[in-house]
Amino acid sequence: MKITEEHNWSIPQRQAKAGLFVIIYKALLTVIKAVWPLVLVVIFRERNKTFDTFEMLLIGIPAIILIRSVIDFLYFRFYIENNDLIIKRGFLRKKVITIPLNKIQSVHIEQNLIHQLLDVAKLTIDTAGSEKSEAEIDAISISKAESFKQFLLKIEKDMPDQAQSGRVSTEIPLIHLSIRDLFKLGLSANHLQAFFIVLAFGISMLQSLEEIFGNRVIRIVQESSTAIGISIASVLALIVVVLVISVIVSVVRTVLRYSNFNCNQTEQGFRIQTGLINSRQNLVPFSKIQYISWEANWIRRKIGLFMLEFHQAQNELAKKKQRIRLPITKKEYVDRLLEPYHLAVKPISHSTHSIHKVYPFRKMLFAGLPTAFILTIIAFFWMKWFALIFLLWIPYIYVVNTIYQKRFHLYISPEAFQVNSGVWGKESKIAQWYKIQFLELRQSMYQKRKQLATIIIHTAAGKIKIPYVDLALAQTVKNYALYKIESTAKSWM
């Protein structure tokens, strides 16, 4: 990469001047979260003429937070030195973060509404072994963020200058979502998740009000409930209202998350941009993809929608925070996204394998029976004979795992394997053999007697489980995986 004076990263860089407004905005949000209960107390308490503790806190806490934020902004520097990214921050309490460039796993560009208004962006840097973002640069210009991101990921570092080589960087558009696609995704989303978000928000607000106003809030809620009365009609109406709110929340979350969604293929990887209010850009290098999965719930499977995920080398906490998930509105998009990694194994597989038929019975025996009996015994003290309804958990577990056993298939080819599974929905995972870190076989006493085993395939992005297969197949898979790992010259990163 040809470095100009403007982008000479060896010189300590400051954040954009407009970033001061971003820092103040973040500080104000922190202030609001910290002092809003005190504000309510001051508003609703009995008036007095003295300058008391609450009023001193209302002045002191915001002032300290704002002053510290401004100082952090003024003393923030970042630069490159000896192939390390150096970030310095703080005045009285100085902090220096050093990140080797070859350890950087991903770099994300994010913009909330304030960033967009000020034409700046937030740069988030992750490494493979970190549970959270290693470093954040809250506000730099868009062009500078793009240039620095490319430098950190070494996209153009070893490439000849485009003007000299005559090469032109091209991007191939792969996926773009229409308004119709967004509403289809929102209406087919997991509304149960949205329901619990609404429920948690309501409980949190009720607890906060109770802490401030005491038992008066609970008394008002109880009086309102008594006035309304409990009837079948009111319960049904409440269920309908909650369902409607959950659907609305799901649609709004989907629109905010996936508006302006675009996925383009470059020479180095997939460039993904998404978000309405909080805009986000990601580059997923081909080399860093460990395995790929795509899934659909029952509704989405019927209408041909999937969620595809690129699994990169991260631990569990970081993986949940920085998941790269793509909404797929056409099945052929899956093939396009798989092509740079490996084609779908199912059509070209050399062999296909299933779970042993004893699997549903064993799951019912160890997951269904104990849980059902414990719940029935506990519920008997409150519901008497109605507690027997919990025994239905036993046949439910058996039916669910029978469906899982019939739909589970392992497809094996010389270069990769694919696992298809699911109960009401569908999930597929595909991984190349040389991407495996290690593989283990697990056997219970029963599995040893029946010559069965469970295969746990570990990658740098997580594990893939293949339960209750013949021991001979498990050993063959293990030996072949070890052979491919040792004989392949390619690097897994």
Sequence ranges of the domains in the chain: 19-169, 189-247, 262-355+408-487, 359-403
Please calculate the CA angle 93-94-97 and round it to the nearest 5 degrees.
135
| Residue 406: both structure tokens together | 């019939």
User: CA–CA separation, 49 vs 62, rounded Å?
Assistant: 23
H-helix segments, 12-52: 19-44
User: CA–CA separation, 132 vs 115, rounded Å?
Assistant: 22
Contact 110, 124 (CB under 8 A): yes
H-helix segments, 296-368: 298-303, 316-321, 331-338, 359-363
Cβ neighbourhood burial of 240 (10 Å; 0-12, 13-18, 19+): exposed
**pTM as predicted:** 0.76
Phi-psi region at 184: left, alpha or beta (left = phi > 0; alpha = psi -120 to 50): alpha
* DSSP H or E segment with residue 404: helix 393-407
Tens of pLDDT along the chain (493 residues) come to 344 445 788 889 899 988 888 888 888 887 777 666 666 655 655 555 555 565 666 667 777 888 888 888 898 999 998 888 999 988 778 888 888 887 777 788 888 888 888 889 999 887 765 555 568 888 998 888 888 887 887 644 444 444 334 444 578 999 988 899 998 998 888 766 666 666 666 666 655 555 555 565 556 555 555 555 555 666 677 777 777 888 888 888 889 989 999 999 988 889 899 988 888 888 888 888 999 999 999 888 888 899 999 998 765 545 555 678 899 988 889 999 999 999 999 999 999 999 999 999 999 999 889 998 998 898 888 878 788 898 999 999 999 999 999 999 999 999 999 999 999 999 999 999 999 999 999 999 999 999 999 999 999 889 999 999 999 999 999 999 999 999 988 887 7
Cβ neighbourhood burial of 27 (10 Å; 0-12, 13-18, 19+): buried
What is the assigned CATH class of domain 19-169? Answer: mainly beta
